[in-house]
């Protein structure tokens, strides 16, 4: 397949019960098998129930628990976590994604969609199976890019602040087994000398 899979509103509706979504809102197996990892990533970040799956906090508190639950329900995530090139392709996608703030734009739906998709990339990158597939040079490159983007986010707090940003950063810190914010602060201190 040469393009991301598009979920149609007829087959995958927000009016469906969550249990029905798990059966209906899947990538057909024949398409999934042939899909490139790059297109699979685009399909996943455009999955219409990514956010609601993550935030099903009344049953699964916390983004990581929501992600685990969503992975059980969505074959696209299951497939991505099996692919050896998932980390490499996610890094490429993450590096090519600019942080944009639409604070002056009255079209909040566009802003929220863009911001959430950015967070989805970070959540995917924080997964143990993704990190395990990266070599040390890729991890160093990713860490540098996360810190660069974190610095930019600090200048756009009206768009990238709050609890979701902190929870995603906590996931990334756990994935790197250190405190990225502290590393970023130390890097800033050494640059100012």
Tens digits of residue pLDDT in 15-70: 777 777 777 889 999 999 999 999 999 999 999 888 888 877 555 568 898 899 89
Using CA atoms, how far residue 124 sits from 114, 130, 133, in Å, is 16, 7, 13
Helix (H) or strand (E) run with residue 136 in it: helix 136-154
Q: Would residue 108 count as lying in a domain?
A: yes
Alpha-carbon span 131 to 33, nearest angstrom: 23
Alpha-carbon span 158 to 12, nearest angstrom: 32
Q: Would residue 160 count as lying in a domain?
A: yes
Interval 61-82 mean pLDDT: 91
Whether the CB-CB separation of 102 and 110 falls below 8 Å is answered with yes
Q: Would residue 171 count as lying in a domain?
A: yes
Whether the CB-CB separation of 40 and 88 falls below 8 Å is answered with no
* Residue 31 belongs to domain spanning: 18-191
pLDDT higher than 70, residue 110? no
Which residues of 48-156 form beta strands (DSSP E)? none
Residue 187: its pLDDT value, please? 46
Q: How many CB atoms lie within 10 A of CB 132?
A: 9
Quote the number of domains for the chain: 1
| pLDDT bucket at 183, cuts 50 / 70 / 90 | very low
Q: With the CA atoms of 5, 120, 115 and 108 taken in that order, what torsion angle do they form, in degrees rounded to the nearest 10?
A: 60
Q: Would residue 12 count as lying in a domain?
A: no
Range picked from 20-24, 78-82, 178-182 for highest mean pLDDT: 78-82
pLDDT higher than 70, residue 193? no
65, two tokens:
């628990």
Residue 52: its pLDDT value, please? 82
51, two tokens:
């956010």
- The sign of the CA dihedral 56, 62, 67, 69 is negative
Q: Would residue 8 count as lying in a domain?
A: no
Q: Would residue 102 count as lying in a domain?
A: yes
Whether the CB-CB separation of 94 and 122 falls below 8 Å is answered with yes
Q: Would residue 10 count as lying in a domain?
A: no
Residue 160: its pLDDT value, please? 86
Q: Would residue 4 count as lying in a domain?
A: no
Alpha-carbon span 86 to 55, nearest angstrom: 24
Whether the CB-CB separation of 121 and 93 falls below 8 Å is answered with yes
């Amino acid at each position: 397949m040469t393009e991301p899979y598009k979920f149609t509103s007829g087959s995958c509706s927000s009016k469906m019960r969550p249990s029905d979504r798990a059966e209906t809102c899947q990538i057909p197996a024949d398409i999934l098998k042939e899909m490139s990892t790059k297109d699979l990533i685009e399909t996943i970040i455009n999955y219409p129930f990514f956010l609601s799956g993550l935030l099903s906090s009344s049953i699964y508190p916390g983004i990581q628990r929501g992600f685990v639950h969503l992975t059980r329900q969505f074959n696209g995530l299951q497939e991505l976590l099996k692919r050896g090139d998932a980390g490499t392709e996610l890094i490429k996608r993450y590096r090519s994604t600019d942080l944009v703030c639409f604070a002056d734009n009255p079209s909040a739906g566009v802003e929220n969609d863009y911001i959430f998709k950015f967070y989805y990339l970070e959540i995917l990158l924080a997964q143990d199976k993704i990190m395990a597939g990266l070599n040390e040079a890729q991890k160093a490159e990713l860490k540098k890019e996360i810190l660069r983007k974190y610095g930019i986010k600090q200048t756009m707090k009206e768009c990238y602040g709050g609890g979701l940003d902190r929870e995603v950063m906590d996931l990334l810190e756990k994935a790197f087994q250190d405190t990225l914010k502290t590393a970023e602060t130390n890097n800033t201190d050494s640059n100012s000398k």
